[in-house]
């Protein structure tokens, strides 16, 4: 009996969104009378940071500081249409819709500023700090605050825009059934190193090294946090989490979260994250969707590491000590 060490590798690709009816998302952007901007969506922030990213995308497109943008994810009765927050589609679909809406709002804003400065709108640019400048003559400028006041109370203009992102629908080929389910894919590779006690079946994950290709990290710190958390979740799926250990038999199933097994801080492996950026041609500023993918490659990597350590292949999740010991016993009897 011994502690055996193994290493496992797994690589995946993951589609961003889906291709059912074009997978549409809409967005609305408008300015308040004081030059702040409101983004209205029906896309829901589940904690992944969508509101922050949509604010950044809107601010970058219009040319204002991010703190001048408020994102309202109201509901499907009062907000513009969205297919939903799932399939790692939020940043890609909603982000593209926000860019369209923000561009339209920006154009109206520049037209009002042009009337105030008596120049052509094409001769204007933003400085990213809340001002609109004449190109080549920055001393001639007007604040976005003053432009918004003029639009609302003098010019009778609505600084607003509408956006909708709709991908070309792909229909299955009659002969082969082949279709294009997504316009862009994220990629990941994980290397997991484990120790397995071949007497008790207990698995200890020592290190998990992850490489994620996500298009472009629009907020690098938030991306890192999501990828680290997803890596831990992947380990939890691989080794711990189950509601019915003998499904469909409900015997010994957990009845509450006190009995639902998850790793604690002492069970988490040393985790390394590397982000590769290969911008997507149709992503907002090149972004893809890393949301669900970040918890996927750890599962087969851990399974492969267990196999490398003790020579048994566990193909049912979670990979519990009981299943490892049963597999070892079956292997020994052959």
Active-site residue list? 292
Paired sense of beta strands 270-276 and 203-213, if any: parallel
Integer CA distances (angstroms), 146 to 77, 124, 128, 159, in order: 33, 15, 15, 13
What number of H helices and E strands is found in the chain?
6, 11
My answer on whether omega of the bond before 140 falls inside 30° of 0, hence cis, is no
Q: Which DSSP symbol is given to 87? A: T
Q: Is 312 exposed, middle or buried (0-12, 13-18, 19+ CB in 10 A)?
A: buried
Query: Do 60 and 287 contact (CB within 8 A), yes or no?
Result: no
Q: Which DSSP symbol is given to 192? A: E
Cα-atom radius of gyration of the chain, to the nearest Å? 26
DSSP for 126-190 reads E-SSSEEEETTEEEEEEEHHHHHHHIIIII----EEEEEE-PPP-PPPTTT------S-EEEEEE
Cβ contacts of 36 within 8 Å, gap of 6 or more: 68, 69, 70
CA distance 11 to 192: 12
Query: Do 262 and 238 contact (CB within 8 A), yes or no?
Result: no
Taking the CA atoms of 34, 58, 135 and 151 in sequence, report the sign of the dihedral they define.
negative
């Amino acid at each position: 009996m011994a502690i055996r060490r193994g290493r496992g590798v797994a690589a995946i690709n993951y589609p961003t969104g889906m291709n059912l009816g074009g997978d549409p998302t809409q967005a609305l952007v408008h300015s308040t009378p004081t030059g702040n901007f409101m983004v209205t969506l029906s896309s829901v922030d589940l904690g992944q940071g969508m509101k922050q990213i949509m604010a950044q995308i809107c601010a970058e497109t219009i040319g204002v500081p991010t703190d001048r943008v408020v994102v309202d994810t109201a509901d499907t009765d009062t907000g513009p249409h969205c297919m939903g927050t799932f399939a790692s589609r939020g940043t890609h679909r909603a982000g593209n819709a926000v860019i369209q809406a923000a561009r339209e709002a920006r154009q109206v804003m520049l037209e009002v500023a042009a009337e105030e400065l008596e120049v052509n709108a094409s001769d204007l640019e933003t400085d990213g700090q809340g001002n609109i400048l004449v190109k080549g003559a920055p001393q001639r400028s007007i604040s976005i605050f003053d432009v918004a006041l003029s639009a609302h109370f003098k010019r009778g203009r609505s600084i607003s825009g509408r956006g909708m992102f709709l991908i070309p629908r792909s229909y299955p080929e009659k002969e082969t059934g082949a279709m294009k389910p997504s316009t862009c894919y994220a990629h990941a590779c994980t290397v997991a190193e484990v120790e397995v006690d071949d007497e008790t079946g207990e698995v200890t994950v020592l290190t998990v090294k992850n490489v994620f290709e996500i298009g472009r990290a629009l907020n690098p710190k938030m991306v890192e946090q999501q990828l680290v958390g997803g890596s831990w979740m992947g380990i939890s799926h691989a080794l711990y989490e189950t509601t019915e250990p003998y499904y469909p038999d409900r015997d010994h199933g957990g009845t509450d979260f006190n009995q639902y097994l998850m790793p604690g801080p002492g069970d988490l492996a040393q985790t390394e994250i590397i982000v590769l950026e290969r911008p997507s041609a149709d992503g907002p500023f090149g972004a893809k969707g890393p949301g669900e993918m970040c918890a996927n490659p750890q599962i087969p990597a851990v399974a492969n590491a267990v196999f490398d350590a003790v020579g048994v292949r566990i193909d049912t999740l979670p990979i519990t000590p009981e299943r490892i010991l049963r597999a070892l016993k079956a292997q020994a009897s052959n």
